[in-house]
Amino acid sequence: MLKLSKLTDYAAVIMAQIARDPDQAHTASELAARVKLPHPTVGKTLKMLAKSGLLESRRGSHGGYVLSRSPADITASDLIAAIEGPIGMTECSHADGECGLLDSCGVADNWQRVSQAIRTLLDGVTLAHLAQSSPLKLPVQLPIQSVTLPTASGALREH
Amino acid sequence: MLKLSKLTDYAAVIMAQIARDPDQAHTASELAARVKLPHPTVGKTLKMLAKSGLLESRRGSHGGYVLSRSPADITASDLIAAIEGPIGMTECSHADGECGLLDSCGVADNWQRVSQAIRTLLDGVTLAHLAQSSPLKLPVQLPIQSVTLPTASGALREH
DNA sequence: GTAAAGAGGACTAAAATGGTCCTATATGGC
DNA sequence: GCCATATAGGACCATTTTAGTCCTCTTTAC
């Protein structure tokens, strides 16, 4: 369903918590309590975020995690990539991907373009946006297809 | 990785095949041969597409599948929804979704907006687009964030 | 009647995911 | 130096999801 994994979801919630109080280090235990998730799970998530460079960690007593850069400079793409790896809709979205069906496929290029569009969209959403409690007006809500594409009736809107 | 399932991928390839020759019925065997995938798998995919109304089927001898409407009226959203169910990035993207963490979450609304933006984007991509063999110029390639959003450095571009 | 086709569902195998736990290492305070 | 507090880094298992196959039934053209 084009869904984020639970861990990515947790990551977003945790990062938003940190972003709302960016000037001090946060421990896994503290965040687990605030977010109401089990400590081991939160710990794992934090480790992944640190490993991919979105958080900086300090070990030992009085340790914890801080953002490695401003919330406005951390994108949704970054979060997703940190937990789930490279974003791409299909196997062949990646440069080295070989599906062996390229000749009979005929849609690979176009899916890649769609992937790219989604990446671009997610690059435009920052942690600062996500952490906002006030309703966020995303520009991307524009009905893109009506701007430049001719057709697309858009039936089956019960998604 | 925000990835489509393999079956959705197959569905797109199969639908594109049909879209390129929309005036006659196509059997599962024929499509399996053309797409170079095992017959049972292609059959299953076709059944799902038919069940969700994107294909119409005729049984019996000389039977097969035809598009239920024009390729320009079948969207990427439709394809994905047919195979994977409703599109949504998080559990709580759905109306009835209850994650029990709503109070401590604080990002649900914003993720929903992002989900909506992706849906809109996918609504703008049609089967006609996907089936085009010539490079498709998607309007959505515009760097959306630079149009209206201030920040987003977009590091980690190795996606 | 027979052959060709889809409908529907049961079933299995494999892979991804979520979650926990253990040991090692770093840091600060006493 | 020692101890308490943290993270680092894996190993590990349970569960769920996904992919793929197969079987039986129904429909239809000839």
Do A82 and B85 form a contact (C-beta atoms < 8 A)? no
pLDDT number for residue A137 = 56
Domain-embedded: residue A44: yes
Measured from the CB, is B27 under 7 Å from any atom of strand C? yes
pLDDT number for residue A31 = 96
What averages of pLDDT result for each successive group of 10 residues across chain A (159 residues)? 87 95 95 94 98 96 95 96 84 55 72 88 93 62 32 28
Residues of chain B with Cβ-Cβ distance to A133 below 8 Å are 106
**Higher confidence at residue B99 or residue B132?**
B132
pLDDT number for residue A108 = 79
Residue B44, nucleotide of least CA–C1' distance: D20
Q: B81 and A156: CB-CB below 8 Å? A: yes
d(CA B94, CA A44): 27
Residue A9, nucleotide of least CA–C1' distance: C18
Domain-embedded: residue A157: no
The answer, yes or no, to whether residue B139 has pLDDT greater than 60, is no
3-state SS string over chain A?
A: CCCCCHHHHHHHHHHHHHHCCCCCCECHHHHHHHHCCCHHHHHHHHHHHHHCCCEEEECCCCCEEEECCCHHHCEHHHHHHHHHCCCCCCHHHCCCCCCCCHHHHCCHHHHHHHHHHHHHHHHCCEHHHHHCCCCCCCHHHCCHHHHHCCCCCCCCCCC
pLDDT number for residue B113 = 86
Considering its fold, how many domains does chain A have in total?
1
pLDDT number for residue B138 = 52
Residues of chain A with Cβ-Cβ distance to B41 below 8 Å are none
Domain-embedded: residue A55: yes
pLDDT number for residue A51 = 96
Domain-embedded: residue A94: yes
Instruction: Provide the residue range defining the domain that includes A112.
Output: 6-133
Q: Which residue of chain B comes nearest to A148, CA vs CA?
A: B139
pLDDT number for residue B107 = 81
pLDDT number for residue A78 = 96
Domain-embedded: residue A159: no
The answer, yes or no, to whether residue B121 has pLDDT greater than 50, is yes
Q: B35 and A111: CB-CB below 8 Å? A: no
Domain-embedded: residue B125: yes
**CATH number, domain at B55?**
1.10.10.10
What is the count of residue pairs from A and B with beta carbons less than 8 Å apart? 257
The answer, yes or no, to whether residue B67 has pLDDT greater than 60, is yes
Domain-embedded: residue B146: no
Domain-embedded: residue B16: yes
Q: Which residue of chain A comes nearest to B151, CA vs CA?
A: A72
